[in-house]
C-alpha cells in the first residue's frame, strides 16, 4: 500500500510540473505575507525554504483556488537538508500517512514537518540562517512606535514555504515554542509575530509602577525579565543596569539576582558593579539556562530627606528609579558586542507635603497669622512625628509625642514627607487674640494623581474672639441693680413734685 502511495505521489508531482508548464495554466501566481503585532523599528526577514508549484483552479479568476501543491528545496537550503539539521526532516518513507513528497538530490523524499515537530524545525532553520548566513528573500523594517497598524507586509512573493525571522529577536511571546514563524504563501497569509525583543519590567511594593511613601520608608523594588532564546549566538550579552536618584538610599546588601528559583552568586555574573546609587551586572553564559525562565532582581532602598530638596517649578517632587537592559542583537557577531538597549523602565516615588496657610479671613488680602499650632492625624488616628535631623516620618499614638507645626510670619505651617492619603489637621493653639478651631480640617494628599499635586495648600481661617463674662465676676447684675435704683428714685421724685404742686395750688 505504501509503495502505491509513493508512486502516486511521484506521479502527482510530475503532473503538477507538467500542468504548471502548459499554456492553460501559464499564469504566474504570487503570494503575500502579512506579519502583525510587530515590534516598532525592528527588522523582519523572510527566507523561502521550499519553492512551491501549485495546481490552481481559476474557474473564478477573482478567487483562484489551490487544489494541490508540490514542494522543492530552495537552492539556498540545499546544504541544510543535505548535510545539516534539515536532513532529519527529509525521510524515505511516509511516517505520518500523508506527508508531502519531493525530489531531492535525485531521490524521492517525504517532507517530515508536522504539528509535532514544526517548532523544532523552525529553531533549526533559524540557526541555519544565522550561521551561514543565508540571504533573505525579502526584508522589512517595522513602523515607528504609535503607527497604525503595527505590521509589515511582504508582497509579490514567489509561492513557497517561508521562514519569518525577526532579526535579533531572542524572547518568545506568550506560549509560542519558537522565535520564527513558518508559513506557505497560498496566496496571502497573515501571521502574528511569535517573538519579541528582550525587555524588562520594574515595579515597587506589591507590583506597582509608581508609589507614594513617607520619608524614612523602606521600598522594595523588583525587576523582571526572561531568559532569551540565544539560538545561533556564539556569545550573548544580557546586562541589567539600575540607577536611583538622590532621594533614594540603596541598600547594597539587599540585592538578590535569580534565574528561576536559583540565586546567582557572583561566580555566575560578570562585570558586576554596585554603588551607593545603583548597580549593573551581566549574567554569564545565559544561553545555558532554560529559555523563558524568569529572571528576577530584587532590592530595597530608603526614601531620604533628599527627597525634600527644592526642584524647578516644572519638575514634580518625586524620585525616579531607572532600569535598562542591554542585549546582543546580531548573531553573526561572535563576541556578542553588537548590542541594543531596551526602552528604560522607570518607577517614580512621590512624597507629599501639607502646607497650612493661616489667615484671618478668606479674602485675597487676608492677614497672615503667626503662632498657630497644629498636629496632624492619619486615617488610623495616629499622630505625625518627624525626626528633626533625619526628617524621617513616623506615626505615634500619643498626642504629646506628635510634632507640632507652628505658623511663621508668613502664616505657613508644614507637614512634609508624607504618603498619599486622607489626613486631619487639629489646631491645638490659635494665634493670640483669635478663636481656636472647633473642628478638625480634613485634607487629602494625592501626589500620584493627575497633576501630581505633591504640595496641598490648605487655608485655615481664625476669627477674633469677644470677651465673655466669667463666673467669678459681678457680671451684669450690678448694672441691672443700679438701673432699677435710678428708675425707682426717679419715680419717687416725680411723685414728691406732684404732691408739692398740689399743696401749692390748694
pLDDT tens per residue, range 16-71: 444 344 433 445 778 888 998 888 888 999 999 999 888 877 777 777 777 778 89
Q: Tell me whether residue 312 is in a domain.
A: yes
Q: Is 467 a residue whose pLDDT tops 80?
A: no
Q: How confident is the model at residue 490 (pLDDT cuts 50, 70, 90)?
A: low
Closest CA to 260 of 303, 230, 231, 292: 292
Q: What is the largest CA-CA distance in the chain?
A: 169
- DSSP strand pairing (195-196 vs 171-172): antiparallel
- DSSP strand pairing (43-57 vs 393-396): unpaired
Reported as type and span, the H/E element at residue 426 is: strand 421-429
Indicate whether 99 and 243 sit together in one domain. no
| Secondary structure (3-state) at 493 | helix
Nearest 5°: CA angle at 320, between 271 and 223?
50
Q: How confident is the model at residue 285 (pLDDT cuts 50, 70, 90)?
A: very high
The answer to whether 275 touches 267, Cβ cutoff 8 Å, is no
Indicate whether 137 and 255 sit together in one domain. no
- Identify the domain boundary among 349, 382, 405: 349
Indicate whether 217 and 126 sit together in one domain. no
Residue 84 CB burial class (10 angstroms; 0-12, 13-18, ≥19) = middle
The b/e string for 14-31 (b: 16+ C-beta within 10 A; e otherwise) is eebeebbeeeebeeebeb
Of all residues in the chain, the percent with pLDDT exceeding 70 is 81
- The span from the CA of 41 to the CA of 466, in Å, is 75
CATH number for 369: 2.60.40.10
Grid coordinates in use for 504?
Answer: 401749692
Indicate whether 49 and 176 sit together in one domain. yes
Q: Tell me whether residue 482 is in a domain.
A: no
Q: Tell me whether residue 494 is in a domain.
A: no
Least confident of 156-160, 268-272, 435-439, 476-480: 476-480
Residues in the chain: 506
- The span from the CA of 267 to the CA of 283, in Å, is 10
Q: Tell me whether residue 254 is in a domain.
A: yes
Name every residue whose Cβ is closer than 8 Å to that of residue 373 and which is 6 or more positions away in sequence.
Answer: 404, 405, 406, 407, 427, 428, 429
Indicate whether 343 and 278 sit together in one domain. yes
- The span from the CA of 315 to the CA of 335, in Å, is 42
pTM, rounded to two decimals: 0.70
DSSP for 235-264 reads S--EEEEEEE-TTEEE-GGG-EEEETTEEP
Q: Tell me whether residue 502 is in a domain.
A: no
Q: Which domain holds residue 274?
A: 201-349
- Identify the domain boundary among 196, 216, 238: 196
- The span from the CA of 55 to the CA of 58, in Å, is 10
Q: Tell me whether residue 28 is in a domain.
A: yes
pLDDT tens per residue, range 110-153: 999 988 888 888 888 888 888 787 899 999 999 998 899 999 99
Indicate whether 189 and 207 sit together in one domain. no
Indicate whether 221 and 340 sit together in one domain. yes
Of all residues in the chain, the percent with pLDDT exceeding 90 is 47
- Asked if omega into 353 is within 30° of 0 (cis), the reply is no
Grid coordinates in use for 94?
Answer: 511516509
Q: Is 316 a residue whose pLDDT tops 60?
A: yes
Q: Tell me whether residue 483 is in a domain.
A: no
Indicate whether 317 and 419 sit together in one domain. no
Number of domains in the chain: 3
Indicate whether 268 and 377 sit together in one domain. no
Indicate whether 28 and 77 sit together in one domain. yes
Q: Tell me whether residue 445 is in a domain.
A: yes
| Secondary structure (3-state) at 58 | coil
| CA 488 from centre of chain | 90
CATH number for 318: 2.60.40.740
- Identify the domain boundary among 299, 331, 349: 349
Q: Is 374 a residue whose pLDDT tops 50?
A: yes
Indicate whether 329 and 363 sit together in one domain. no
| Secondary structure (3-state) at 501 | helix
pLDDT at position 498 is: 61
Indicate whether 162 and 256 sit together in one domain. no
Amino acid at each position: 500500500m505504501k509503495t502505491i502511495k509513493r508512486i502516486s505521489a511521484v506521479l502527482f508531482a510530475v503532473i503538477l510540473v507538467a500542468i504548471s508548464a502548459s499554456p492553460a495554466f501559464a499564469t504566474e501566481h504570487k503570494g503575500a505575507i502579512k506579519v502583525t503585532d510587530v515590534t516598532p523599528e525592528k527588522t523582519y526577514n523572510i527566507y523561502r525554504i521550499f519553492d512551491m508549484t501549485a495546481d490552481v483552479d481559476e474557474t473564478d479568476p477573482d478567487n483562484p483556488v489551490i487544489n494541490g501543491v508540490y514542494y522543492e528545496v530552495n537552492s539556498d537550503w540545499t546544504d541544510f537538508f543535505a548535510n545539516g539539521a534539515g536532513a532529519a526532516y527529509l525521510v524515505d518513507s511516509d511516517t505520518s500517512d500523508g506527508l508531502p513528497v519531493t525530489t531531492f538530490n535525485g531521490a524521492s523524499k517525504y517532507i517530515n514537518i508536522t504539528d509535532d515537530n514544526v517548532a523544532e524545525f523552525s529553531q533549526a532553520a533559524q540557526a541555519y540562517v544565522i550561521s551561514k548566513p543565508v540571504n533573505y528573500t525579502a526584508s522589512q523594517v517595522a513602523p515607528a512606535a504609535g503607527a497604525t497598524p503595527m505590521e509589515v507586509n511582504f508582497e509579490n512573493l514567489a509561492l513557497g514555504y517561508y521562514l519569518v525571522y525577526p532579526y535579533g529577536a531572542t524572547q518568545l511571546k506568550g506560549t509560542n515554542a519558537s522565535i520564527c514563524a513558518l508559513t506557505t504563501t497560498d496566496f496571502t497569509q497573515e501571521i502574528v509575530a511569535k517573538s519579541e525583543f528582550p525587555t524588562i519590567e520594574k515595579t515597587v511594593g506589591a507590583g506597582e509602577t509608581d508609589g507614594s511613601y513617607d520619608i524614612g520608608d523602606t521600598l522594595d523594588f523588583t525587576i523582571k525579565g526572561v531568559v532569551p532564546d540565544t539560538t545561533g549566538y556564539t556569545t550573548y550579552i544580557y546586562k541589567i543596569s539600575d540607577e536611583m536618584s538622590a532621594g533614594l538610599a540603596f541598600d547594597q546588601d539587599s540585592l538578590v539576582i535569580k534565574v528561576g528559583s536559583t540565586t546567582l552568586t557572583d561566580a555566575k555574573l560578570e562585570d558586576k558593579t554596585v554603588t551607593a546609587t545603583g548597580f549593573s551586572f551581566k549574567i554569564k553564559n545565559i544561553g545555558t539556562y532554560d529559555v523563558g525562565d524568569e529572571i528576577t532582581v530584587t532590592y530595597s532602598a530608603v526614601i531620604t530627606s533628599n527627597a525634600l530638596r527644592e526642584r524647578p517649578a516644572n519638575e514634580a517632587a518625586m524620585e525616579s528609579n531607572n532600569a535598562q537592559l542591554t542585549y546582543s542583537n546580531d548573531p553573526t557577531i561572535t563576541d556578542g558586542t553588537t548590542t541594543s538597549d531596551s526602552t528604560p523602565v522607570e518607577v517614580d516615588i512621590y512624597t507629599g507635603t501639607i502646607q497650612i496657610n493661616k489667615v484671618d479671613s478668606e479674602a485675597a488680602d487676608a492677614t497672615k497669622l503667626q503662632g498657630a499650632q497644629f498636629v496632624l492625624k492619619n486615617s488610623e488616628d495616629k499622630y505625625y512625628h518627624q525626626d528633626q535631623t533625619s526628617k524621617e516620618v513616623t506615626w505615634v499614638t500619643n498626642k504629646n509625642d506628635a510634632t507640632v507645626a507652628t505658623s511663621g510670619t508668613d502664616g505657613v505651617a508644614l507637614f512634609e514627607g508624607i504618603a498619599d492619603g486622607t489626613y486631619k489637621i487639629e489646631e491645638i493653639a490659635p494665634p493670640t487674640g483669635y478663636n481656636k478651631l472647633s473642628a478638625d480640617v480634613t485634607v487629602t494628599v494625592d501626589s500620584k494623581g493627575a497633576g501630581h499635586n505633591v504640595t496641598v495648600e490648605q487655608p485655615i481661617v481664625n476669627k477674633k474672639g469677644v470677651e465673655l463674662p466669667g463666673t467669678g465676676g459681678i457680671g451684669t447684675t450690678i448694672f441691672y441693680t443700679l438701673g432699677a435704683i435710678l428708675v425707682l428714685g426717679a419715680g419717687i421724685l416725680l411723685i414728691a413734685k406732684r404732691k408739692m404742686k398740689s399743696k401749692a395750688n390748694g
